[in-house]
Every structure is written in C-alpha cells, then in structure tokens.
Homo-oligomer: A and B are copies of this chain.
Amino acid sequence: MVIVMNIDASEKQISEITNLLTSLGLGYHISRGEEKIVIGVIGDKRKLDGKAIEMMEGVEKVIPIVDPYKLASRIFKPEPTIVKVGDIEIGGKNIVIMAGPCAVESREQLFESAMAVKRAGAHFLRGGAYKPRTSPYSFQGLEEEGLKMLSEARELTGLKIVTEVMDVHSVEKVAEYADVLQIGARNMQNFSLLKAVGRMNKPVLLKRGLAATLEEWLSAAEYILNEGNKDVILCERGIRTFETYTRNTLDLSAVPAIKKLSHLPIIVDPSHGTGRWHLVPSMAKAAVAAGADGLIIEVHPDPKNALSDGPQSLTPDNFESLVKELKIIAEAVGRELA
C-alpha cells in the first residue's frame, strides 16, 4: 500500500500516520518529492483493514498494490488449471464446444438440438431449466422438469450437461443433474451462491458480470476456490457499454488478459456477447484466435420460434459450418478441436 500526501502536509499529519503504522506493527518509508509525499507501507496490509487512511488529514489518496485475490492468481499457481469433466479437458490443448438452446422448452426441441450439436462436434449440451429474465412476464423455464430432460439428452447423446443455477435453494438439485454448474452474469456477485457452489464437488462455469472488472471477476472466482472447489471455468460474455447495435460489447482482450493474470481456463459466449446471430461466427473464430479454451454457443432447431433469445441463436446448419471453420482456426493457433 502506498499513501500519497500533499506536499504541504504538516509534520504532525505525517507522524499521525506513521504512528498508526508503527502501532500496528507495520514498517514504512517516506519519499518527499517536489509535489507529493509518498509513504510506502511494509508488512501485512490486512492489519490496515478498516483503517480509512484516506480520511486522515493531509492524505490525498491510498493506492493498493496487492491484488484482492490469491488462489485465482497466476503468481500463486503458475501452471494452467485443466478442469476435467469425465474424459473432457477444459484448458488443455483441445478447444471445447458447448452448444444448445438458450432455454429448455420441450423434450422434442431439446433432443433435436442435442442431436444436432452432437453431430456437428459439440462436447457439451447447454440449456437453461431456470431462466433469469428481465421481466417477470417472460418465460421463466421448466425448472426440475427441464433438468430431467437435460439428463435424458445426456443419455441419448453422451454430451456433458452445463446449466444455470440461480439461487442457493436449488444448488443441490441442479448438481444432481448437471455436469457443470453455470453462474450467470447477473449472479456473478451473488456471494451466497458463489459460496454454495464452492462447497459442491462439481465444476463451475462463472460468467463475467455485465459491468465487472477483471479484478472483480477473479475475486468472484476466489469465493468459489476459497470454499475448496478448484474447478472454475471463466466465461467472457460481453460487458455493457454505450454501444446499442450489439446487445453487449464482447471483450475478447479479456482472454489474453485472464491468461496472464490467472491460471483458470476461459471460454467465450459470442451469442450473448453480441445478441445477433449473424455476428456469432466471426466472433467465435476471433475468440479461438485470441486464445480461448472453448466456446458456448446458442443453437436452436427453429430460432424463429425460440421462447428465449432466438435472435442470437444459430440454426443447426449454421452451427455445423461454423465448427468446421473453427477447426481450421484452432489448428492455425496450435490448438485442436476434436
């Protein structure tokens, strides 16, 4: 921690701070510049938790130096984490594809989607049984019924299942059926839910919040890791900006940035990231080129009649063509898509 004071801070103001530091067993060093006085603090900064040094007289600002997360950090664990779901590895050489409808709507719709995405080369089936919707009057999902259908679709196709869990009440139920528990963007800082999935023995797909910084996102992952669950997969899904043509602004620079800051695998959701199906193939290819470990893509057998998010869903045919293109890009960056 670095404390910046105005050059005209009095000796009394400075010694009030240094006395506080000393009383807490912390060391310090004072640099007097031409415009500012800088006090570098040495020792365990946790001793300063809750000391509002910004409010002490003469202090201009306090700059934290240490990251708020530790277990999620690449410095803490330099080698990349590979999350295993059965025989599938996320974060290894292979690019993992998760695909399926936004919401589970019916057995027929789900099975048709599942078989189509399986045929095209997907590894996971996605589909929401519990749906977080902006309006209470929109379709809210089939709930446990939907979970059962997902489980049947797994039997049918061998695909792994990733599906969202929306609250602490339903964590155990969703975990009964799913292979990977998804935390949605709107729940990225639902800390009770993060702790609850952190206590489960299932991998967690943690979507980035609509207005979350990388630091907040990794701190959210830290909540899960800190409860003992080491299998966290990050998912970039677009952030909110002033641009209105796209539903969100897909921040692909998050991919190489997370690779530098953390050891956790990261996948990309170009469907929510853009909100327009015709932008999805370009952004899916860009994500793989940027170094993503996988993709999660909305595919619906009949997007025009989807109960949720139709405009951003690919048809099975579009999806099949895309997977072929993705294989070529994967190889071009030294990865595989098997």
Binding site for B on A (CB under 8 A): 2, 4, 6-8, 27, 29, 31-36, 38, 40-46, 49-56, 63, 65-69, 75, 132-139, 166-169, 186-187, 189-193, 195, 210-211, 213-216, 219, 222-223, 226, 239-246, 249-253, 255-257, 260-261, 273-274, 276-279, 282-283, 285-291, 303-308, 310-311, 313, 325, 328-329, 331-333
Contact = CB atoms under 8 A, between A and B. Distances in A.
A244 B290 contact: no
Interface of A (DSSP majority class) = mixed
Contacts of A50: 139, 305-308, 310
B226 A255 contact: no
B33 A65 contact: yes
15 contacts: A29-B29, A33-B43, A38-B65, A46-B137, A50-B139, A68-B134, A134-B216, A166-B192, A213-B242, A214-B243, A252-B286, A256-B278, A282-B289, A283-B290, A285-B290
B250 A6 contact: no
A278 to B, nearest CB: 7
A166 B133 CA distance: 19
B135 A69 contact: yes
A132 B189 CA distance: 8
A213 B308 CA distance: 20
A10 to B, nearest CB: 15
Given A7-B75, A68-B134, A244-B244, 14 more contacts: A2-B40, A31-B41, A32-B42, A33-B42, A50-B308, A52-B305, A69-B135, A136-B222, A167-B168, A187-B190, A211-B211, A240-B242, A286-B290, A325-B333
Q: Report the copy number of this chain in the oligomer.
A: 4
Given A167-B192, A250-B253, A135 B245 contact: no
Nearest to A169: B168
A243 B244 CA distance: 10
Contacts of A244: 213, 244
B53 A304 contact: yes
A168 B166 CA distance: 11
Contacts of A190: 166-167, 186-187, 190
A167 to B, nearest CB: 4
Nearest to A2: B2
Contact of A246 (B246, B257, B311): B257
A38 B40 contact: yes
Nearest to A213: B243
B255 A282 contact: yes
